[in-house]
Amino acid sequence: MVLGFLEGGQLENATPQVFDTVKERPVTAAELDDNVEDPIDAREVFDLIRDINDPEHPLTLEQLKVVAEELITVDTQSKIVNVSFTPTIPHCSMATLIGLCIRVKLFRALPREYKIDLSISPGNHDQEKAINKQLQDKERVAAALENPNLLSVVDKCIAEPDY
Amino acid sequence: MHVQLVGTLSGHADSIWCCAWSPDGCTLATCGTDKAIRLWNNPSQNKDEEAGGDRSTDGGWKCATILSDGHSRTVRRVAWSPCGRMLASCSFDGTVCVWSLKNGEFDCTVTLEGHENEVKAVAFSPSGRYLATCSRDKTVWIWEQDHDSGDDFECVSVQSCHTQDVKCVCWHPSEDLLASASYDNSINFYKDEGDDWTCDFTAVGHDSTVWAIDFDRDGGRLVSASDDRTLRVWKRYEVGNEVGVAPSWKVISTIQGFHPRPIYAVSWCPNTGLIASGCGDNNVRIFAPDPEQMACETDDAPNFLQATLIEAHQQDVNCVSWNPKQAGLLATVGDDETIKLWQVSDYDVPI
């Protein structure tokens, strides 16, 4: 397997803790005014990734507290978005796939000149360093996303929910 | 130092991963995610300057050929044979194509298969006898041109010294000596022992992936570019060297504090001695030996200064390449789908 996480089998974390989700962001008058530029901020980035589905549970990354607004920073000057995420368990074999889903979602949604720095929030995975290195290797990410099987798994995770 | 943008070339439909000058310096080959190889040349380059010069944004450089039927996935790198009549390309599809010039056109005459997955780099030896490839499958393959069966290549060695994805291969400019760089942070050197190739030396020092390597003109030194945000200059110590160091490659200079993001590319100009780097912060930097050191005997501890910073691209810079014939002509490519040509002049560096 390309990144080593498409094996089937039993759930690793059978009963994850589920957390409350945040309210919709209130729309301000300035945001409705086309003459006012709304810079990309942490909340906007959070809104892009909060509804990504967990690969093994019918829950979103927000509900599992894998992603959180306070783990996102945006530097509009140097155009760098920094996202940390927290796997539900420290030996989670889905961590690379979850990271890849976040990366693909942001790559597609943000302007192309934005750089996305993605990492596991410090101390939250046994293989934190190795996974971070893999997720930051643009060549390996590009190659992985040319794999149709992997891409279909990612697309399923980042598909918009049906309302 | 003066840097002038002499051409902006567009045509590729996605990220451009590599650019490589033909040995005569007249043709630039580029490749990328759109699976195509493009060959660019400049018919007006050798004619007398027309009145006012060429004012078009491409500087007279045109795409002469598109080779699009060789690979089914991203073309990661291209490399020219020393004679300029062959071009090799490698792809995430796991294959290598060798294109041969016949009747004025390049045709894919050979497809080399064997690597288990993505082929990351390809390079011809200076003699033209060998072709080296490397892959995410952690191996480096050395192929020998088989003259009995025309254009074909035969694999003569598979090297498995790296423990991770191999990113780049580069031949010594005059010897059959090969270097490879890897995700395992090391650089390996290989030589022909007569009956087989052996991994002669492993150079460690970088703290993360080594993306690119290049030898200087004489091959006594090598520069490496890494994800750890440094460039390192390595010196070759041969058997029986004067300083009594065991045969090896040792870091003699670390260029740090300049690159805020991973360095994906490096090129050491054979004509000027300048080092160009391509970085994930969209910039190209040019480094020159410290002129104050020139008079001293500092061969074992040279100091390199950043001579200039070029805000070259809108996104990551993936490859930089000095023209082998026209001194100071630099090609750069990046994720922003453009090829830029820069003319560097007024450099004060003795060759």
B14-38 pLDDT tens trace: 999 999 999 999 999 999 999 999 9
Closest by alpha carbon to B194, among B206, B180, B176?
A: B176
* Residue B254 domain-assigned (yes or no): yes
Distance CA(A45)–CA(A38), nearest Å, equals 13
pLDDT at B43: 87
Determine the residue among B137, B210, B261 to mutate to test chain A binding: the one whose Cβ has the most chain A Cβ atoms within 10 Å: B261
Lowest mean pLDDT across A15-24, A36-45, B58-67, B183-192: A15-24
Task: State whether B315 and A138 contact (CB < 8 Å).
Answer: no
Cα B18 from Cα B319, distance rounded (Å): 5
How many domains does chain A divide into?
A: 1
Q: How far apart are CA B106 and CA A31, in angstroms?
A: 55
pLDDT tens readout for residues B121-143: 999 999 999 999 999 999 999 99
Closest CA to A41 of A54, A28, A60: A28
Question: What ipTM does this complex have?
Answer: 0.93
CB A61 within 8 A of CB A99: no
**Residue B43 in domain:** no
Torsion of CA B238, B239, B244, B248, to 10 degrees: 50
Q: Is the pLDDT of residue B48 over 80?
A: no
Residue predicted with more confidence, B226 or B50: B226
Mind giving me the DSSP string for B14-46?
A: S-EEEEEE-TTSSEEEEEETTS-EEEEE-TTTT
For residue A143, give the chain B residue with the closest CA: B92
pLDDT of residue B138: 98
- In chain B, the residue whose alpha carbon lies closest to the alpha carbon of A2 is B117
Quote the pLDDT of residue B51: 44
Taking CA atoms, B134 is separated from A144, B23, B108, B182, in Å, by: 17, 22, 20, 9
Digit-coded pLDDT (tens) for B221-274: 999 999 999 999 999 999 888 888 889 999 999 999 999 999 999 999 999 999
Domain that holds residue B138: 2-37+60-345
How many domains, chain B?
Answer: 1
Q: What is the CATH number of the domain that holds A145?
A: 3.30.300.130
In a domain, B51, yes or no: no
Q: Name the residue type at position B310.
A: I
Q: Give B144 to chain A, closest Cα distance, Å.
A: 28
B48's CB contacts (< 8 A; 6+ apart) are: none
Q: Give the confidence band of B167 by pLDDT, cuts at 50, 70, 90.
A: very high
Q: Would you state the pLDDT for residue A106?
A: 97
How far does chain B reach from its first CA to its final CA, in angstroms?
15
Q: What is the mean pLDDT of residues B100-113?
A: 94
Residue B290 lies in a domain: yes
Q: pLDDT at position A62, please?
A: 96
**From A146, which residue of chain B is nearest by alpha-carbon distance?**
B73
> What is the residue range of A144's domain?
38-157
Compare B267 and B149 and report the one with higher pLDDT: B267
**Is the Cβ pair A146, B74 closer than 8 Å?**
yes
Nearest CA in chain A to B92: A143
Minimal CA separation from A35 to chain B, in Å: 25
Q: Contact B31/B18 with Cβ under 8 angstroms?
A: yes
B47 located within any domain: no
- Domain with B256 in it: what CATH number? 2.130.10.10
Which residues of chain B have a CB within 8 Å of the CB of A115? 261, 280, 316
**Residue that wins the pLDDT comparison between A6 and B109:** B109
In this predicted structure, the answer to whether residue B293 has a pLDDT above a threshold of 90 is no
Average pLDDT, chain B: 93
In a domain, B338, yes or no: yes
pLDDT of B53 strictly over 80: no
Q: Over chain A (163 residues), what is each successive 10-residue block's mean pLDDT?
A: 47 80 78 82 96 93 96 96 96 94 96 96 95 97 95 93 61
How many angstroms separate the first and last alpha carbons of chain A?
34
Q: Return the residue matching tokens 């979103």.
A: A60
**B200 or B48, higher pLDDT:** B200
**Interchain CB contact of A112 with B (< 8 Å):** yes
CB contact under 8 A, A113 and B315: yes
Of B78, B81, B61, B76, residue with least CA distance to B342: B61
The bridge status of strand A80-85 relative to strand A115-120 is parallel
B97 belongs to a structural domain = yes
B319 domain residue, yes or no: yes
Mean pLDDT of B318-344: 97
Contact B67, B34 (CB under 8 A): no
Q: Is residue A32 part of a domain?
A: no
Q: Which of B225, B216, B220 is nearest to B187 (CA)?
A: B225
Chain B hits for A142, CB-CB cut-off 8 Å, are 15, 33, 74, 92
**pLDDT on residue A1:** 36
- pLDDT for B150 equals 65
H or E element at residue A69: none
